[in-house]
Structure 1
């Protein structure tokens, strides 16, 4: 399992990557950053990005939809025992600290900004941030790579 530095260096291998960070969204503290930052101010970049992550993660509108999905899944699994394991694996139901939001994507005319929440064994609000050049980056592939990095990231 890669640590923060290895994870960030791997994130920078994504086509079009301009910058990457691991940020704690409750405090706005960057645990690690590589590449470029907006206006050459890493603290402001981390704080503003954390604010966006916090807004998305704490929205009850997203959580209500997930709860409704989980109730539907629970009803389906009760009636169809063959799909019980698959349904639980797909929704992540029962995992500690699950955020209803997996990732946040902001697009501008020149860039993609991806925020991917990291599930940890302890209660934390950590996410990976990847800044991509829109002309060189592939949004779908970047999301897949960021998802894989978030799963493998070892936070000590």
Structure 2
């Protein structure tokens, strides 16, 4: 099992095109940990903003009566992919992993696969 810091380092080291990543509590909108980012990507702002995206999607599913779980949410920009992966284990409900990718360097399918693997090993 990996802790938050180790998991975030693994995301940046093993996922091609990774720009930055965060583990976020979507109850509060606070990032429990961040890595990468920079002047063009403030991960604290991204964590709070993407919390609103997750909350809106969860509410919409409830209003529609959908009895399913969100795996991930993809936001496609001109030069980036933003991937939000809701965590599923009993101890990690209410958290999501956020990953920003350089669209020109990333393989989206491989990034999703790797993020799922890292999530399974993450202990909060």
- Cα drift, residue 138 of structure 1: 0.5
Task: Note closer, same or farther for the CA distance 1:5–1:62 as it changes in structure 2 (3 Å cut).
Answer: farther
Gaps of 5+ in 1: 68-99
TM-score (norm 2): 0.88
Is residue 62–residue 101 contact of structure 1 (8 Å, CA) maintained in 2?
no
Match of 1:153 in 2: 122
1:106 and 2:75 correspond = yes
Q: How does 1:3-152 map to 2 (within 5 A)?
A: 3-13=3-13, 14-37=15-38, 39=40, 41-60=42-61, 64-66=65-67, 100-122=69-91, 124-152=93-121
What is the aligned length? Answer: 123
Bigger fraction of residues in strand: 2
Residues 27-75 of structure 1 show CA distances to partners (whole Å, capped at 9, x for unaligned) of 10000000015645433221101111221223226873446xxxxxxxx
Gaps of 5+ in 2: none
Match of 1:2 in 2: 2
Cα RMSD (Å) of the superposition? 2.1
Task: Note closer, same or farther for the CA distance 1:138–1:116 as it changes in structure 2 (3 Å cut).
Answer: same
Task: Note closer, same or farther for the CA distance 1:153–1:27 as it changes in structure 2 (3 Å cut).
Answer: same
Bigger fraction of residues in helix: 1
